[in-house]
Structure 1
């Protein structure tokens, strides 16, 4: 298998975890390259569900190396909780196969407090819909060059001094702006010491592992979180995440050169969903939207929030294809569309009197667009047992063909159910 980057093509929640889990079987190592525990990947293997927030989805494949890259912001408490939960299920989570880049940034308690304080002060209209897990404030400290890196957990004095520096400014904000209790630097430091001791064995040089895997003829799978339209630069700003989600960031966030990125697979849900605030041109606030939400079990794996549902948006997918240089799509949740008499596809937008095929780039412009739809006949058949492309109803195959025509990207994988086995590889 080629070195492969997995990205979400919409607003996240596309089913990346299942596809990563499936492709991990042929990879030597799987690396997360951005985001934090604001992402959640749900895996179903032999009917048993497993939700991961930080640890790469390939952890369920024995012998695979699972890496957390420098582009990730890591909450060490969440990491240890996942480690303990997997170990209780008999999964090998030893440092021999699990590694955290020494360059990864660490989410601290003050990041989470700051995140929640800010969101609580905003009006309902201006709320971003943050998960409150400290992701944004941690990335801010990284860019301000005062962040705590994973390697600092092995240097107690450096850790103490960085906590003191970090709280100098934040405690002023907590007291004077948010009317919140300040945090005691010494207490934060003492609370971190036992956590640091447990995390230290997992610290390492992720770049060298990627290099060694390729030298030894094994491929690497780069696992993205969220979706491209939540990208800090290219998403529906300001309703975005705090990192670059596009495929090009796999190199920077994992620690390798761009020539390592050979195949770029975009995970695309057969319809569109979005969690939290922000514009959503094809959103359905009717019975069909409720049907998609119910049949697709559309609740966020991280927050449990109900996902907003709508028709497939080819304008969004076209933009993802050009930003990420997609080689192929993995189409997920096609089975959720079964039973619909008519299926619509958004092929373009009307924006300020013009027809556009790519999203306009002005702030909040996506809230102004009107989707232009094509209609296609649906199908009634249950497709969850289909294992070959020819097993799908003609209407389902036509739907897939139209996606390929409108995007210029082939659909290489079709998922017809949540389980690993419910997958068609073309």
Structure 2
């Protein structure tokens, strides 16, 4: 892009910014956000990849930008960026059409490319699901990059029966479950019943989560409601965010193209399972089927799946704990990370411990195992604000009879 072309682009984006403020009455902050989205697209993507300017953009440019380039090239890009970017595109090209700079056919083409945000959100999700440590990484990435998937293959057979994990199922009995203190099945049924009663409810524009009003209603309906701030969002609730995530894993709910929650026939199939089968399916979804990073708030960062890969060893270590005996959490993690018989240096041990203390394991997995009635835990007194806000600072934990049986059944030993 020549200096003259860059100046012309900046003038066009500036006129769009002024139009939004003066003609549409948008705040300076909102108008700036829209303009910044267009500026990034115009100055960094179009010249080097599409070799065209803002007035020559087609629907294919929008598609390639959001489903490919933006994901790979923009630092800390995430799926919550999709809707604001599409909004900026729509406003910008409607502005250009009103100014007579693009014709109706070009506008319609671009608006059509902006119509289905789920398409781009799915691209972010499928990219996040790629495993850099996989032996097939190169092939998997190439398939993702070339967008080589069949849309029909993404369709789910909602009538397909649930698979009941035999290893988990044989680890405990129906009586073990009924004698446990867990309320996870009652709470999850309450969650599903709420979704059924509010099928089609609008989700948040960012991340397609349950709205604050519905979040508080669901939280109050739980057996043990969490203390949530008035400004809480779905990920701030460990229970509701866990149930939402597991429901997506099990295809009990989907997000529609217009960003509404839609229940699926699999909810009825799930309800037809026995209590024990429901527990096994739900726990299997947490332990084996769901990427643990999804249980954290969006953009938490870190390599959460490296912790998940150790789940067999974690289960074996937990199974050796005595039922109802209190263990100091940090001390237990330190012993878990210490390799038997090795004279490893203290720094390596500290790094290993930090992976478990300041990660999804402490923040979400231990609380999730407590929700399932396998563990109990308590936080340190007078935790610092950072630890409170991030669900960290566990002081002690205990294991239940049900937990010991299940961990013995699924451990690597």
With the shorter chain as reference, the TM-score category is under 0.3
Greater fraction of residues in strand: 1
Q: Give the greater-gyration-radius structure (CA).
A: 2
Greater fraction of residues in helix: 2
Structure 2 length-normalised TM: 0.21
Structure 1 length-normalised TM: 0.20
